[in-house]
Amino acid sequence: KQRELAMEDKSYTFTSIAFAGNEGWVTGLPSLMLHTSDGGESWDTLSLPQMDLSTEYILESHFYDQDTGIVFVSGNFTGPIEEARAYRTFDGGQSWMLTELPIEPFEDTFKSAPNYGYVYRGDTIWTGTTQGRILRSVNRGADWEVFQPVGAPPNPVESIAFQDHLR
């Protein structure tokens, strides 16, 4: 069933959708985060108070359950590289906490396209950066480690895939 969403006079591109039961979240460009608690019958706009929505963009979101989730944010979507950030929530998106990432600000950011290079397996997250680094968290984004391919030029990580749960 198709539903109309009142989105003011702006045009958005949805970048990710996540559901845990009837709780759901949609992110979009320019920066937008919507939440539903009734399976999509109605939607409310959420915000990340620390974000400047005119220059920062929500690229990806993932929710583990109705309370716990993470969003990946990159600044200045169409211009020079800005700082990459990740925010975590423990109350369904009502409040957000910045998590520290092991990359240099203004040198490296997430691939500036939605749905590129994010893999979630249980509590583990893998993502790539524009400088060829691979980040991994084994605890839902609380702590991160970085892998730098040896001898490879710093090309953006376009995608990450695994053959099975071991490889």
- Strands, sheet with 23-29, edge to edge from the N-terminal-most edge strand: 13-20, 23-29, 32-36, 44-46
Give residue 141's pLDDT band: very low, low, confident or very high (50, 70, 90): very high
Is residue 106's pLDDT more than 70?
Answer: no
> Residue 126: its pLDDT value, please?
87
Is residue 77's pLDDT more than 80?
Answer: no
The one-letter amino acid code at 48 reads L
> Residue 112: its pLDDT value, please?
47
Element (H, E) at 124: strand 124-128
Q: Mean pLDDT in the chain? A: 78
Please tell me the distance from the alpha carbon of residue 17 to that of residue 60, in angstroms, as a whole number.
8
The one-letter amino acid code at 4 reads E
Is residue 37's pLDDT more than 60?
Answer: yes
Top-confidence residue, 54 or 132: 132
Q: Decide: 83 and 109 in contact? Cβ < 8 Å.
A: yes
